[in-house]
Structure 1
Amino acid sequence: MLRTRMTFTGCKSRAILAGCVLLMSVGCTTLYRNHGYAPTDDQLAEVLVGVDTRDTVADVVGPPTAGGASNGGGFFYVQSRFRLLGPLEPKEIDREVVAITFDADGVVENVERFGLENGNVVALSRRVTQDNIRDTTFIRQLFGSIGQINAGDLLGDG
């Protein structure tokens, strides 16, 4: 009877140990989480620069994640991918922004796809109707001001 009790205790402790090891290994498994939506290149190929309007773009590509600051602003689609590893803070490993701008009549003027490489905004693809590319898009303004603010300018010392 003493032998049976020792064997049962040994099996129980092994089962608890195996359960703890299993929980720890599952807790350290890398998980990926996607946020937002960015249209594929095939979907963007259906958007014709100089032809399509806001309504047709919304029908073909879907509603935008964000719109421009004014009524004449563009459509912005943002997609991010995060890596989660156990109890560590989630880390953004990929971000794509698709910007579709419109002219004053609401016709597609420009389609651009941006990525984030080493903290810098990188234009991945661009389609425009004009030869001169304006460098004042919403995305460039947003990312261009990072690091450009001087404390002396804010206090009036500069």
Structure 2
Amino acid sequence: MTMFRLHRPARALLAAAGLSAVIAVTGCAPLVQPVVEDRGYIFDPSDLEKLQTGASKEQVRTVMGSPSTVSTVDGEAWYYISSRFETVMFYRPKEIERTVAAVYFDKSEAVQEVAYYGLEDGQIVNFVDRTTPTRGKELTILGQLFGNLGRFNNPGAGIPSVGTGDPNQRR
């Protein structure tokens, strides 16, 4: 009885095929469950139904609590904002759901209207931008490279050159 032997390239190819099959099978199954978190105001549907046209600001505050934010124009609107974020592994959190209840008041500070908005009704506005705008010329990479060509022609411009002096002298 002879034993079936594979040559080294054939064994490597077989091992690669087996590893590919294992990766393909496990890649289809969700290995990592996303972390879901709620942020902001947690809506209770029964509280939202209690808001009636003509209610005072104090009645709204008693039912709903303090608003997430207030309109900057005379405080004529209160906003209760709730968001749901999903985070998968090390990626940035992604907002998957947003609910905004807007309570609009008239001049006598009575509820005029209650409106509901979702994620599809608005756009995300970044109030804090982490980039600093630069002023001046916007140069391309070629402009930056060729712009520096004439700046380094004068070797005696007050910049000490490396390797001058006595190599045996210590400082």
Q: Secondary structure at the match of 1:56?
A: helix
Write the distance in 1 (CA, Å) between the matches of 2:119 and 2:82.
11
Change (3 A) 1:87 1:29: same
Name which of 85, 96, 103 aligns with 1:100: 103
Q: Would the aligned equivalents of 1:102 and 1:109 in 2 still touch at CA under 8 Å?
A: yes
Unaligned segments of structure 2, at least 5 residues: 1-30, 126-171
The higher-RCO structure (CA 8 Å, 6+ apart) is: 1
* 2:86 maps to 1:83: yes
Write the distance in 1 (CA, Å) between the matches of 2:84 and 2:67.
18
Question: Which residue of 1 is the match for residue 65 of structure 2?
Answer: 62
Aligned sequence identity (%)? 29
Q: Would the aligned equivalents of 1:39 and 1:98 in 2 still touch at CA under 8 Å?
A: no
Give the paired residue count: 94
Q: Would the aligned equivalents of 1:81 and 1:94 in 2 still touch at CA under 8 Å?
A: yes
Write the distance in 2 (CA, Å) between the matches of 1:31 and 1:72.
36
Max Rg structure: 2
Q: Would the aligned equivalents of 1:80 and 1:94 in 2 still touch at CA under 8 Å?
A: yes
Write the distance in 1 (CA, Å) between the matches of 2:109 and 2:57.
6
Equivalent positions of 1:1-158 (< 5 A) are: 28-50=32-54, 52-117=55-120, 120-121=121-122
Q: Would the aligned equivalents of 1:36 and 1:78 in 2 still touch at CA under 8 Å?
A: yes
Unaligned segments of structure 1, at least 5 residues: 1-26, 122-142, 146-158
Q: Secondary structure at the match of 1:43?
A: helix
Q: Would the aligned equivalents of 1:84 and 1:90 in 2 still touch at CA under 8 Å?
A: yes
Write the distance in 1 (CA, Å) between the matches of 2:77 and 2:52.
15
Q: CA deviation at 1:73?
A: 1.8
Q: Name segments (4+ residues, structure 1) moved above 2 Å.
A: 38-41
User: Aligned AA for 2:47?
Assistant: Q
Q: Would the aligned equivalents of 2:43 and 2:82 in 1 still touch at CA under 8 Å?
A: no
Q: Would the aligned equivalents of 1:38 and 1:98 in 2 still touch at CA under 8 Å?
A: no
Q: Would the aligned equivalents of 1:98 and 1:114 in 2 still touch at CA under 8 Å?
A: yes
Greater strand share, 1 or 2?
A: 1
Q: CA deviation at 1:38?
A: 4.7
Q: Secondary structure at the match of 2:108?
A: coil
TM value normalised by structure 1 = 0.54
